[in-house]
Structure formats: C-alpha cells, structure tokens
Structure 1
Amino acid sequence: MTTSDQIYRAVESQISQRMLLPGDSIDEESLMTQFGVSRTPVREALVRLKSEGLVSSISRGGSIVSKMDVQQLVSVWELLSDLEGLCAGYACERMTRPERQALMDAHLAGEAAAEADDQVGWQQANMAFHEVLYAGSRNTFLRQEILRMRTRTVAYRSHSFGAVGDAMHAHLEHGQIAKAILERDAETAVRLMRAHLRPEGATLINLLQSLPKDMLR
C-alpha cells in the first residue's frame, strides 16, 4: 500500500466515523506531518477522494468534506436503498444455510442495543447485520458501491436517525428482512430492504427539516 493509499484510507475513515463532517476543512499540513510526507501524496489522496465525491475543492483554495443539496441527498439515498435491496435479493438467492443463520444471529445480537435505544451500540449492530448480507450477495463490486454511498451520506443519516425512526423500529424491520431471507423469498426481501432504507413522504420531510443548514449546500 502506497502512502497516498494510507492517507486516502485515513481521511475516508474519519468521514465514515463522523470525525469529519460535511463542510469541515481537510488539513493538508496536518496530514503531511502525520504521515511524514511531502504535499504530493496528500494531494494524490485528495484527488481520489474528490473523484468519489467525498471531498470538494473550495474557491479560496483547500479542500472540504463534500456537502450535498437536498436533491442530491435524496437522489443518493434513493439509489442506496435500491442497491441495498439488490444486495438483499442476491443474498437471498446465494447465501448458504450457515450464512442465513449468521444473519439471524446478527439480528438477535442487536436487540439489546435497540431496546436500550443505544445509538452507538445500534449503529455497530446495524452495520454487522448489513455486512452479513454484503458477504452473502457474493458481489464485491456491489458492496464497494454501497459502502461508498454509506460513507458519503453517513453524517446525514446519523444526524437524522430520530426523524426516520427509533432503533427498535429498525431492529424489527431487520427481523422481517431476515425472515424473508430464511424463507428464500427474494421478492419480499428486496421490497422490505428498499422500504427499510428509503424514507418517504412526511418522514422524509421531517428528516430534511432536522438537518443543520450548514451541512447542506
């Protein structure tokens, strides 16, 4: 792995973990010091991040974590829900029996966090559940695209979680998806996953209204 790759992964990780939020500046000098390198590999990493839409240039120079306007956010969220649905369909067709059991185990493991409305614990349990599906889909390119979109929208989705629904509601939806996959009902699994990820109507309006204005373009 090149130094540029290491810097790319470090910044991407900070974005995905919400250590860097939309609109935050990327400190090139700090990255140069952290990795003991010249500006060149830092710029190379930023070019890659910009090509993926995670980072944007600003008119006065420098780079920030990309912001989205409402239309962009809704469009990416819509596509993410469709890709997650596609993943659920593939997984339903391709998962082995042990993998299906692992999916149910991942669902049950999140129950305590959901009951306690433990946001940190639930986010970890939620990601563990989806990762079982990504592996079960047998499609690494699909997983990469989903994770890229999750990283790009993580700050918006996490901040707006209360507007979409509480952890227990999401946990119950996971249970319905897992049941459909255990029963090898791909059509239902796809429909449930798309609905699980795509806020619509009044829920979408509440979600957008909950976002800080400085996170939007």
Structure 2
Amino acid sequence: MKVSERIRQLIEEDIRSGVLLPGDVIDEQELAARFEVSRTPVREALLQLEAQNILISQPRQGMVVAKMDIQQLLAIWELLCEMEGVCVRLACERMSDEERQQLVRVHEQAQGVVDADDVDGWRAMNHAFHDVLYQGSRNPYLRQEILRLRARTGAYLRYAFSALGRLRSSQEQHGQIVDAILAHDPQRAHAMMMEHISLDQGARGLTDFIINLPRSMLSA
C-alpha cells in the first residue's frame, strides 16, 4: 500500500473516531513526521480527501475537516442508511458460520459496555459490530464507501447519539439484527438495520438530533 493511501486512511479514521472534528486544521508537518516522509505523499492524501469532500482548502489555514449543514448531513445519512441495509442483506446471505459466531461474540461483549454506560467503549464495539457485517458482505467496494460516508458523518452522530442516550436501544436493535442473521433471514436483517440506522425514529428523535448538534460543527 502506498504511503499516501495509509495517510488517507489514518485521517479518515481520525475523523470517524472523533480525533479530528469538523473545522479542525490538518497538520501536514505532523503527518509527515509521523510517517517519516516528505510532504509530497501527505499532500497527495489530502488532495484525495478534498476530492471526496471530506476536507476543504481554506485560505491561510490549509486543509481543514469539512463542515456540513443540516440538509447535507441528512442527505448523506439517508444514503448511508440504504447502503447499510444492502450490506447486512448481503452479509446475511454470504457470511460463514464462523463469522456469524464472531458477530454473536462482539454483540455479547458490547453488553458489558452498555451496562457500564460507557459511551466511548460503545463507539468501539459498535464499529466492531458493523465491521463484521461489512466484511461478511464480501463486497470491499461497498465497505469502502460506507466507511467514507461514516467518516463524513461520524462526529455529528457521536454528539447527537451521546445526547439522546441511545446505547441500550441500539444494543437491543443489534440483537434483533443478530437474530435475523442467525436465522438466515436477509429480508428481516435488512428491515432491522434500516430501523437501527434511521435517524428520526419519530419526529421527536429527529428534532432532538438536530438541536443537540454543536453549532460550531455546522457550515453557515
């Protein structure tokens, strides 16, 4: 793998995990030092992310993590919801028995995190749960696009998710997805994922999601 590709993946992961937030400046010099390379592969990675609208170039600041407005955020999340639904349907049809048991183990491990009300721990377990499904779909291009969309929306969803306190309900929905996967029922798995990913889950949920977003993360 090219160095620029590794740098690109690192930045995406930092955005997805909340290390980098919308509006944060990308430090080219720090990235070059971390990977022990010149700035050339760093800039190549940044240009790739700019082409994907994950980063934008700002005068006198360089590359910064792109902000979105509410309309953009909801449009991207609508697409992500559909892609997650397709992914779980494919995974239900294609996963091996070993992968199904791996999904069960991740789900069981997540229960302790939920019982402890550990929001940071839940984020890691949630990513692990979904990544088993991404791998199980046997479609690396679908996985790649989902991860890119999650990188763009991750910071926004983390803030709203924490404010709405949806750990326990999300764990229960994961359980419904697991049940459908174990039953080899792709249509039910798809329906459960669509319900799980849906932002609104009622008008109140959508309103709460919007009002809990920090204004500093939204574009004008």
TM-score normalised to structure 1 length:
0.92
Aligned pair count? 217
Q: Unmatched 5+ residue regions in structure 1? A: none
- Name the SS of the counterpart of 2:64 in structure 1: strand
What secondary structure sits across from 2:26 in the alignment? coil
Q: 1:208 aligns with which of 193, 207, 210?
A: 210
Q: Which runs of 5+ in 2 are unaligned?
A: none
Structure 1, residues 143-190: CA drift from partner, whole Å, max 9, x if none? 111111111111111111134442111100000011011112211111
Quote the sequence identity (%).
46
Moved more, 55-64 or 174-183: 55-64
Note closer, same or farther for the CA distance 1:185–1:215 as it changes in structure 2 (3 Å cut).
same
Post-superposition shift, 1:54?
1.3
Pair 175,59 (structure 1): closer, same or farther in 2 beyond 3 Å: same
Instruction: Tell me, in whole angstroms, the C-alpha distance in 2 between the residues paired with 1:33 and 1:111.
Output: 39
Cα distance change on mapping 1:196 and 1:164 into 2, 3 Å = farther
1:159 is paired with a residue of what secondary structure? helix
| Alignment partner, residue 173 of structure 1 | 173
RMSD: 1.7
For 1:29 and 1:212, how far apart are their aligned partners in 2? Answer: 29
Pick closer, same or farther for the CA change 1:107–1:6 going to 2, 3 Å.
closer
Written as runs of structure 1 = structure 2, the 5 A alignment for 1:119-198 is 119-198=119-198
Separation of aligned partners in 1, 2:128 and 2:37:
35
Which residue of the partner structure matches residue 80 of structure 1? Answer: 80
The aligned amino acid for 1:116 is: A
Give TM-score, length-normalised by structure 2.
Answer: 0.91
